[in-house]
Amino acid sequence: MSRALIIVDVQNDFCEGGALPVEGGAALAAEISEYVDAHHGQFDHVVATQDWHIEPGAHFSEQPDFVDSWPPHCVAGTRGAELHPDLDTEYIQAYFRKGQFTAAYSGFEGLLAPDDAVPTGDRAPGSLPIGGAAGAAASSDFAAGEDAIGLDDWLQSHDVEEVVVVGIATDHCVKATALDAVQAGYSVTVLRGLTVGIAEDLDDAFAEMEFGGVDIA
């Protein structure tokens, strides 16, 4: 049995100074890095998800309701869509990008990014990904490809049966990813201390996850 850590959406736009900041996001990036550095030997695989919006329709709004619509964020190929510079990518094996043309909260809606479009570890903080602002066009190619690999496909191909989920935001993409992982048949744990959420009170989000079969640690 293989075990995987899923790092959800620790991106610049979801951290302080970004387009849709979650309080504590920047600190969380560093905390996850410390955790992975200390515990990577407990995982066979480490993957990360990213919002990667090209034309997500009504998901973007100039007058968002912050339930079904949001200010523009994590636009493909921009600095806001990049992983936060305090998130160490050394142990991350694969990146799954979601929401190109529609709203997407769960990492299980993401598609595997091509190798030449992900951080290599020698990139200066704040620099654009390979391809720069042209990244959006490249993203549409892999998003539409018949051979696109989803997160569930990738985990199954690596014999993963147990996943641990951390990241941003507890009450949105972390919750959606964890619940979808349960539905896909994985044993799922969310590390409460390695998530941050939008709501001030996250008890309901954790209760919903527990009711859905997620272990909260």
The CA–CA distances, whole Å, from 145 to 49, 112, 115, 138, 184 equal 19, 11, 15, 11, 23
Distance from C-alpha of 50 to C-alpha of 97, rounded to nearest angstrom: 5
CA distance 208 to 217: 14
Asked if omega into 48 is within 30° of 0 (cis), the reply is: no
Closest by alpha carbon to 193, among 58, 71, 27?
A: 27
Sequence-distant (≥ 6) Cβ neighbours of residue 199 within 8 angstroms: 171, 205
Strands in 94-98's sheet, in edge-to-edge order, are: 111-112, 94-98, 45-51, 2-8, 160-168, 187-196, 215-216
**Residues with catalytic roles:** 9, 98, 173
